[in-house]
Chains A and B, each alone.
Chain A
Amino acid sequence: MNPSSQPRRYPTRRAVLGAAVAGAALPVLGGCVTGGDDGTTEAASGAKTAENPLGVPDKTPIEVVIFKGGYGDEYAVNAESLYKQRYPGATVDHKGIQKVGEALQPRFVADTPPDVVDNTGAGRLDLATLVGAGKLSDLADLLDAPSLDDPAKKVRDTLLPGVVDDGTFDDKVQTLNFTYTVWGLWYSKPLFAKNGWTFPTTWDAMLALCEQIKKAGVAPWTYQGKYPEYLNDPLLAMAAKAGGPDLVKAVDNLEPNAWKQQGLVDAATAIAELAGKGYILSGSEALSHTEAQAAWSQSQVAIIPCGSWLEAEQKGITPDGFDMAMAPAPALSGSDKLPQTALQAASSESFIVPAKAKNPRGGLEFLRILFSTTAAKRFAELNSTMPSVAGALEGLTLSSGLGSVKTAVDAAGPNTFTYRFRTWYAPLAKAVDDATGELATKRITPAQWSDRVQKAADAVATDTAVKKYQR
């Protein structure tokens, strides 16, 4: 069960305006919730063959609506031309727009939606509302269809771990996310090489390294203090590795004393150690993400936590030869339940096929093409971003950062995890952020951190006005 769209944390962190924009996107579908009458419009379909496993009608036009944001829409145009090659009789109507919700809300209400939609960006339609109103197609047929690259493999098996899960609502896969984000710790390879430092895989080694870095006159760590959630990522990642998937589930399911699990207390203790030993750049707690990241890219600081968007975000100000790389958070102990290479990962850029589309088979086929390695590679080349298709980065010349992300994803294999409480229970997320900020400035102890967060989680759990989710 996953009734919430995946965190597209990077734009929502654009702190100043993000909240308003997200709010504006929420109620868009209000008017159509009640309108779910079963009109039996006959959708076009063609004969199913090995070449055409989804039974796409050749001569039926297809309408594709793409969110034209940071990634542009060229990658989609490319996928559309591949579609036309396969179905020469079809015309493709392409629309690259910014405000998906505004443009499509009336069409969803009138049950005349396009055939496939990239429902992304600040003005997107609320996914949970779409699902609740029964406006989306089940993507099972697509997932079980043979993949374009290797007919022996189903589409389902070509996706990176977690992607199918991220798109599942009420036990049905109703959306597929096209991009893949992982979180880790970032450093400059030449800076480390020059000083003879190696990136540590255990926390003890991390502390030893920090001592060395400090002696070399560089601040070991910084974080985006104005938004303490950035520091949550390594904390929660180390806890997840220590306690395994059960720890993550207990947290997300608001189980009693979930935040007092040993893994979380140990991870909080680790972060507190960093602060206590003076390994965090002074003043970090008041730096915005841009300021902290700028200090890091000027090599005033050695290590910063961030998601895999960092390289693209820092494009233009990263000095030549900085060669950034991402590493997974270290292991807290030898008895961790997940390997150290495990990664916090989530997918985003949500593609849907509306239930009332005129050419739903075409919509599914478009996604089969888009999620092929050919189309995904094109996307990766255009945007230096990892698509959620396995192997899409093979054979490409990758930048330093993206290369390290690929290495990390390959090394993690199936061992990925993600916390959902942040999207399910925003007030709890805020409480965790606040507590971690306090922890990193030594104003509270790890035990107090656990107590505070547990209290906030209990408050959410007992609040009857909050809709609860389980995983």
Chain B
Amino acid sequence: MKRAHAFLVAWAAVVTLPLLWAVVSSLKTDREILTSPWSLPSTPQFDNWSRAWNQAEIGRYFGNSALVVGGALLLTMLFGATTAYALARYPFRGNRLVYFGFVAGMLFPVFLALVPLFFVVKQLGLLGTYPGLILVYTAYALPFTIFFLHAFFRTLPTALAEAAFLDGCSHWGVFFRIMLPLARPGLVTVAIFNFLGLWNQYLLPLVLNPDPDRYVLAQGLAALSVSQGYRSDWSGLFAGLTIAMLPVLAAYVIFQRHIRSGLTAGAVR
């Protein structure tokens, strides 16, 4: 048992040490980072954070990410939920075809689509625009969302919906008033997974979002590593990294029960 703990602690150190190091470094001066990479900062340099936020425009990238991911999440959840529900509860000709068509999307390597996608988005005049990015994010998040929610809607009881129909509820009414609230746990789980996936998306914006003013956080940080590097502003870079990491870590700590139960659902599936 001691050995078990020792191993678990060792791995915890391997995982957290680089992260902690980044956080600590974000509060040090450049000189301290270079000369004594191990020590704690003599006085915490919160100035690094404000510099990264304002001057290095992490704030702007943050806003861009929030806007794009927020928009995409909304669309994904809306379209994903309606589609998954319709496919799960309404038998019609071609139902299986549509379902598998969507689900197959989970298997394709994004790289394959990358080149034509660039030109599709360009021809629609959406290259480097927020709507373009939101729509593409949504399209690529749909397969997993539909796959997950499809399974979820199938497990929901039918009695309630039938009762509602007898009461004269419309199809939309049943969906929004009865089924959606019932599916809330599943919706939350899939929303969290989508948030993580979309927030961390790198390849799609790298190709589809070339305007530095509209960079999302992952792009902005990659660019920052170069530009701060030019100034050898390591502390600013670490501050930027930390600012980018913290909200996701915080969201995780708050929602971790949902994430784990989502994983359990996946594991038991």
Contacts and interface: CB of A to CB of B under 8 A. Distances in A.
Contact of B207 (A20, A27, A123): A20
Interface stretch (B168-176, B219-227, B254-262): B219-227
A465 interface: no
B230 A17 contact: no
A190 B22 CA distance: 35
Contact of B210 (A123, A297, A316): A123
A294 B229 CA distance: 9
B196 interface: no
Interface in A285-343: 288-291, 293-294, 297-298, 313-314, 316-317
B232 A17 contact: no
B10 interface: no
A17 B219 contact: yes
B5 interface: no
B127 A24 contact: yes
Contacts of A98: 211, 213
Interface in A84-124: 98-99, 102, 122-123
Nearest to B207: A20
A183 to B, nearest CB: 18
Contacts of A1: none
A311 to B, nearest CB: 12
B231 A20 contact: no
Given A15-B226, A16-B226, A317 B210 contact: no
A16 B231 contact: no
Contacts of B74: none
B234 to A, nearest CB: 9
Interface in B10-50: 34
B178 interface: no
Contacts, number: 47
Interface string B120-147: 0010000110000000000000000000
**Which residue of A16, A98, A289, A313 has the most chain B CB atoms within 10 A of its CB atom?**
A16
A467 interface: no
B230 A16 contact: no
A293 B226 CA distance: 13
A14 interface: yes
A122 B128 CA distance: 13
A290 B210 contact: no
A44 to B, nearest CB: 33
Contacts of A382: none
Interface in A1-30: 14-17, 20-21, 24, 27
Given A20-B207, A99-B211, A317 B231 contact: yes
B206 interface: yes
Contacts of A21: 210
B210 A291 contact: no
Interface of B: 34, 118-119, 122, 127-128, 206-207, 210-211, 213, 219, 222-223, 225-227, 229-233
12 contacts: A14-B226, A14-B227, A16-B226, A17-B219, A21-B210, A24-B127, A24-B210, A27-B119, A98-B211, A102-B128, A291-B229, A297-B232
Closest 9 pairs between A and B when the two form their complex, measured CB to CB:
A290-B229, A294-B232, A24-B210, A16-B222, A317-B232, A14-B226, A21-B210, A20-B206, A316-B231
